[in-house]
Amino acid sequence: MARARKTAGKKGEGVAGVHLDFEKPLLELEQKIEELKQSADAADLNVHREVASLERRAEEMRRQIFSSLTRYQRVQLARHPRRPYTLDYVRLMTTGWLELFGDRGFADDRALVGGFAWIDGHPLLVVGNQKGRDTKENLSRRFGMANPEGYRKALRLMETAGRFGVPILTLVDTAGAYPGIGAEERGQAEAIARNLREMASLPVPMVTVVTGEGGSGGALAVAMGDVVLMLENSIYSVISPEGCASILWRDRSRNVQAADALRLAADDLLRLRVVDEVLPEPMGGAHRDPEAVAATVKQAVLRHLERLSAMAPGEILAARRKKYRSMGVYTGGA
């Protein structure tokens, strides 16, 4: 089974992992606990009571921090470099993974991966963005931002799934489509638009999960699911907070204000009925326990695929078109 070259952080990753600015008080306490344990082991001391007290304090601090996150703090968690990516979910949720390559027109795009697998004995096409775990891999995968050939590869695979009646799972985690000159020359906008048009007519169940960043048309190009799910600390927006702040105020430092204005958090989008369900993450974010979050995603995907698979193709298409045509509400005066 194919695997990402480097996987997400291990369960319980803490002191040794990457920490965000708002986690620093918790980091200091975790480091103190670790130092106390090591010194006690070296001196053969019994400090169980002191360690237990500090661990209770750390748990309470963790609960306070992560129960009142701002929108921009969720943006930071969505971008966490140890967050699980598509190939991590493939490894943890499926068996028999067979990755397929190329758009049959220009090249293979490593920023978007796709292939067939089995999930609890059922065939499934998985398509998703793949970021890297180090600088070299991130450059080769362009931080998960696809070129037109990536979207054309995804569409080729989805059309194959449609012909053979195989359900589709798309995993979204990208800041957007790649903005390079070559991408524009090869028809970036056309590739995204074609994906949207063709996905609307695929006669098979499609489930989309926003697992990290859901940025602009680059995300939407593989996100037209019959059901759209978001992880608790993922984001989904027409533009990044930094890009929004640069356009509106000519000041990227107003990214916190922009994040609030964009209403890009999972709970916001659930209230606005842009997404259908928010999936919980382990305390501290998906990178703290990739196995647990993958189990949550798998359970939700199977639940929705079971319901959708009981529908006739015509019913699926009618429901999908109704879903997207009903998005957006406006009011106006006489």
Output the average pLDDT for the chain: 90
For residue range 278-325, list pLDDT tens digits in order. Answer: 999 998 899 999 999 999 999 999 999 999 999 999 999 999 999 999
User: Dihedral angle at the C-alpha atoms of 240, 242, 245, 247, nearest 10 degrees?
Assistant: -70
Q: Looking at the chain, which runs of residues are DSSP E strands?
A: 95-100, 112-119, 122-129, 168-174, 206-215, 227-231, 235-237, 277-279
Indicate the angle between helix axes 148-164 and 188-199, nearest 10 degrees: 20
| Percent of the chain with pLDDT strictly greater than 70 | 90
Q: Report the distance separating Cα 41 and Cα 167, nearest Å.
A: 53
Q: Is the pLDDT of residue 133 over 60?
A: yes
Residue 168's nearest CA partner among 275, 307, 301 is 301
Q: Is the pLDDT of residue 67 over 50?
A: yes
Higher per-residue confidence, 12 vs 213:
213
Q: Is the pLDDT of residue 147 over 90?
A: yes
**pLDDT band at residue 66, thresholds of 50, 70 and 90?**
confident
Section 35-52 average pLDDT = 70
CB 241 within 8 A of CB 72: yes
Phi, psi (rounded to 5 degrees) for 263: 50, 55
Q: Report the distance separating Cα 298 and Cα 315, nearest Å.
A: 24
Indicate the SS3 state at residue 303. Answer: helix
For residue range 258-277, list pLDDT tens digits in order. Answer: 999 999 999 999 999 999 99
How crowded is residue 76: how many other Cβ atoms within 10 Å of its Cβ?
Answer: 18
Q: Report the distance separating Cα 195 and Cα 190, nearest Å.
A: 9
The answer to pTM > 0.85 is yes
* In the block, residue with structure tokens 């990214």: 255
Q: Is the pLDDT of residue 52 over 60?
A: yes
Q: What pLDDT score was predicted for residue 63?
A: 83
Section 136-155 average pLDDT = 96
Q: Report the distance separating Cα 312 and Cα 223, nearest Å.
A: 21
Q: What pLDDT score was predicted for residue 27?
A: 79
- The CA distances from residue 196 to 182, 219, 298, in Å, are 21, 11, 25
Q: Which CATH number fits domain 75-325: 3.40.1440.10, 3.40.50.10800, 1.20.1730.10, 3.90.226.10?
A: 3.90.226.10
Q: Report the distance separating Cα 111 and Cα 177, nearest Å.
A: 10
Q: What pLDDT score was predicted for residue 181?
A: 96
Q: Report the distance separating Cα 45 and Cα 42, nearest Å.
A: 8
In single-letter form, the type of residue at position 143 comes to F
For residue range 91-104, list pLDDT tens digits in order. Answer: 999 999 999 999 99
Q: What pLDDT score was predicted for residue 6?
A: 44
Higher per-residue confidence, 245 vs 329:
245
Pairing, β 95-100 against β 112-119: antiparallel
**pLDDT band at residue 14, thresholds of 50, 70 and 90?**
very low
Return the DSSP state at 113.
Answer: E
The per-residue DSSP string of 229-296 comes to: EEETT-EEESS-HHHHHHHHHS-GGGHHHHHHHHT-BHHHHHHTTSSSEEE---TT-GGG-HHHHHHH
Q: Report the distance separating Cα 137 and Cα 69, nearest Å.
A: 30
Section 8-14 average pLDDT = 47
